[in-house]
Structure 1
C-alpha cells in the first residue's frame, strides 16, 4: 500500500478527531490546561480610596470613652484591584454593585464558584471592584444619628436607611414571582441562598445627594486607570451614565446590568455619542412588575441615544440563547457563560489600546 495513501488516511483521521473535539468543546482548542483554570499570574494587586472630603462634627459619639467632637472623612469610595500579567491592551473593568450590597457581589459566588472579579481577571482584564460610598468599606457619616440621639437635631432629621428583607427581596432579585415561588428553570443556586442573604447590608442611598458621591469618585477612578469600561448593576446602573454626562475622560464604554434606571430619552444624548453602551437584562423580566417598566424605559433611551449618533445596544439574555437568569446574573449557575458573552461584546465593541 503506498505510503502517501497511508499518510493521507492518518491526516484525515486526525482532522476528523479535531472536528469532533471542536464540536464537543464549542470550538475552543483543548491543548493543555485552560488559562481559566490552575494558578493565576498577576502583575499587581491592592486597594485604595478615591474621592471623599473631611467634615467637622460635634456629634461623632455618645460614648464617654470617645470624644463627640472631631473631624472625619466621608464620601470616599473603596477600590480593590487586580491586574493580570498580560493585559494586551484590554480596558480595565470597574465592577459596581447595586442596592443593599457591596463589592462582594462580584467575588466568590454563594455556592463557591469563581466570581466575575476572578473570572474576568483570568480572561485578561484588569478588574477593579468598588464599594459604593457609604457602603461596606466606604464608611458613612453617623453624625446625624447622634445629633438626633443627643437632642441636638429634631427626629425628622434621622437619616433614611433601609434594609431589604429576604421575602420582598426574593421578587426584586427575580428568584420567583413572589416568596417562596421559583421561576421554572431559574439559574440562581438557591441551595446556597443563605450565603447570599449574608451579603446584604443597610443601604444609605436614599439619604445621599444626587448624584450619589460614588459618581464623582467613579469619574476620578476612570481618569486614574482608564481606559475603563464601567460595569454597573441595578441601583448603580445609572451611575456610569452620570459619569459620562459629567465628562468621558477615561471612560471607554458602559455595561449596565439590569439598571434600576437609564437616562430619560428626553435627556441630552450628546455625552453618549460614539460611546459603546450595552444594557443587559436577564430572564423573566416581562413577568416582573418592578423590572418590566424599567426595561421599557431603557429601550427608549437606547433608541434616543442611537438616533443622536450613539453606539448603544439593549440585549435580553434569552434572545442570545442564555436562559434562566435572575437579577443576580453574576452569581447564577451560568454566570461564567454570561461573563463570556459580555466579555465577547466588550472585545468586539471597545477598541484595545496600546
Structure 2
C-alpha cells in the first residue's frame, strides 16, 4: 500500500473516528481467564512465622511445596455486532500491562475501545510476570531480579522527551520533542502504569502466548515494543492460527532463518516519529526492516509504515497513547479492511 494511500486514509477517517467515540459500546459477552503456566516444586526453605494482619495471631508458613507459575491473564470483549473476521489479540510491551491498550494517560479512549467499536472481538492480556498474571519467587523461579524504572526513564527512552535530562517534575519545564503528540499533562498517569519486569522470562512469555492462541483459535495479533519478538515467534510456532500481524514499533523480531514460515501471514509494521534523533531506535528499526525484507524475499506480504512519511507526525514510542492515536488506529483499521480481514 503506497504512502499516498496511507496519508489519505488518515485524513479521511480521523473525523469519523472522533464522532464514533461518543457512541455506546454493545457487547454480547465479556470475561477473563488465565492460560499457560507450569507447576514448580520448591524445597529446602525454612518455615516462616508470619503475622498477616497487624495485631493478629502469627501463622506458620511453609514455603516448600508446589507452585503454579508463569501463567498469563487474558480479558476479552466480544462485540454484539462482530465485523472482524478473526479475534484481535493485543500484546503489550516491556514494563507494561494490558492497560497499554485500554485508555490514554489523559483519559481518552485507547485502541481497545476503538477496535471494539469497529466490531473486533478483542483479547487483552497481562503477560507472564505482569499485572494480574502474578509473580513467582525469584531467583528460584524467575531468574535474576526485576527491573524497575525511574519516573524520568520512559520520558527519555520512549522518545517523548528531547534527549537526556529532558524530564522535569514540572510539566511546564519538560523538554518535549518538537510537535510531540504525547499527552504531557498525563505523563504521571502513564508512569503509574509501569510495573517491574524481568529480562529472563521470554521463553515463558512465548509459551503462554502460544497457549492463548491455541485456546482462542485463529486470530490476528497486534503487538508493541518488547512483544515484537513474541508476536513473530508465536506466529512462527503457529502459522496456521495467525491470520495477520500488526507490529507497532517492534523492539525485537522472530527467527530470521524461519522467516519463510510467515510468508502467508500479512504483516504491517508501524514506526512513529523522531527515530533518527534517538541513539537506539535507528538500529532497532533497521533490524525490523531487515526481518520484514526476509519475509518479503520468501514471498510474503509486509507493509512498513513510517508515520511521518504518510503525514502522521509527532508520535512517540507509545503511539497508541498519543493525542493522534485515532489516526494511527484508523490507518491500521483500513489496512485490515484492505487485507480482507473484516466481514
Distance 1:41 1:60 in 2: 53
Q: Is the 8 A contact 1:280 1:317 kept in 2?
A: yes
Q: Distance in 2 between matches of 1:61 and 1:179?
A: 47
Q: Distance in 2 between matches of 1:27 and 1:295?
A: 27
Query: Does residue 46 in structure 1 map to residue 31 in structure 2?
Result: yes
TM-score by length of 1: 0.82
Aligned partner (choices 326, 334, 341) of residue 324 of structure 2: 334
Cα 1:61/1:46, change in 2 over 3 Å: farther
Instruction: Encode CA deviations 1:167-197: one digit per residue, 9 max, x unaligned.
Output: 2322211112223231100000011111011
- Deviation of 1:343 (Å): 1.3
- The answer to whether structure 1 residue 170 and structure 2 residue 152 are counterparts is no
Shift of 1:82: 0.2
The answer to whether the Cα contact below 8 Å between 2:139 and 2:145 also exists between their aligned partners in 1 is: no
Whether 1:308 and 2:294 are equivalent positions in the alignment is: no
Task: Give yes or no for contact 2:230–2:254 (8 Å, CA) kept in 1.
Answer: no
- Correspondence 1:286-297 to 2 at 5 A: 286-297=276-287
- Written as runs of structure 1 = structure 2, the 5 A alignment for 1:90-109 is 90-109=85-104
Give the whole-Å Cα distance in 2 for the aligned partners of 1:130 and 1:215: 13
Give the root-mean-square deviation of aligned CA atoms: 2.4
Structure 1 contact 252–350 (Cα < 8 Å) conserved:
no
Distance in 1 between the 2:39 and 2:143 partners? Answer: 21
Name 2:187's counterpart in structure 1.
Answer: 193
Q: Contact 1:168–1:179 at 8 Å: present in 2 too?
A: no
Change (3 A) 1:61 1:191: farther
Question: Which segments of 5 or more consecutive residues in structure 2 lack a partner in the other structure?
Answer: 1-10, 51-58, 167-174
Look at both structures and tell me which one has the larger radius of gyration over its CA atoms. Answer: 1
2:250 aligned with 1:255: no
1:109-159 deviation per Cα after TM superposition (whole angstroms, max 9, x unaligned): 1111111111210111111110110111111211536x9xxxxxxxxx972
CA contact (8 A) 1:245 1:271 kept: yes
Match of residue 200 from structure 2: 207
Q: 1:317 to 1:70 in 2, by over 3 A?
A: same
- Summarize the Cα distance change of 1:244–1:60 in structure 2 as closer, same or farther, 3 Å threshold: farther
Q: Distance in 2 between matches of 1:272 and 1:80?
A: 27
Of 214-223 and 33-42, the range deviating more from structure 2: 33-42
Q: Secondary structure at the match of 1:128?
A: strand
User: 1:100 is paired with a residue of what secondary structure?
Assistant: coil
1:183 corresponds to: 177
Corresponding position of 1:273: 263
CA distance in 2 between partners of 1:28 and 1:284 (Å): 22
The 8 Å contact of residues 231 and 254 in structure 1, kept in 2 or not, is answered as: yes
Task: Return 255-264 or 60-69, whichever deviates more.
Answer: 60-69
Asked if the contact 2:28/2:80 (under 8 Å) is kept, the reply is yes
Aligned twin of 2:172? none
CA contact (8 A) 1:247 1:271 kept: no
Q: Within 1, Cα distance between the matches of 2:118 and 2:83?
A: 11
Q: How many residue pairs get matched?
A: 313
For the structure 1 residues 291 and 27, does the alpha-carbon distance in structure 2 shift closer, same or farther, using more than 3 Å as the test? closer
Q: Are the equivalent residues in 2 in contact too, given 1:60–1:143 (CA < 8 A)?
A: no
- Tell me, in whole angstroms, the C-alpha distance in 1 between the residues paired with 2:277 and 2:230: 26
Q: Give distance in 1, aligned partners of 2:20 and 2:193.
A: 29
1:161 alignment partner in structure 2: 146
More relative contact order, 1 or 2 (CA 8 Å, 6+ apart): 2
Per-residue deviation, 1:283: 0.3
Contact in 1 for aligned 2:84/2:119 (Cα 8 Å): no
Contact 2:259/2:295 (<8 A) preserved: yes
1:222 is aligned to 213
Equivalent in the alignment of 2:125: 130
For normalisation by structure 2, the TM-score amounts to 0.85
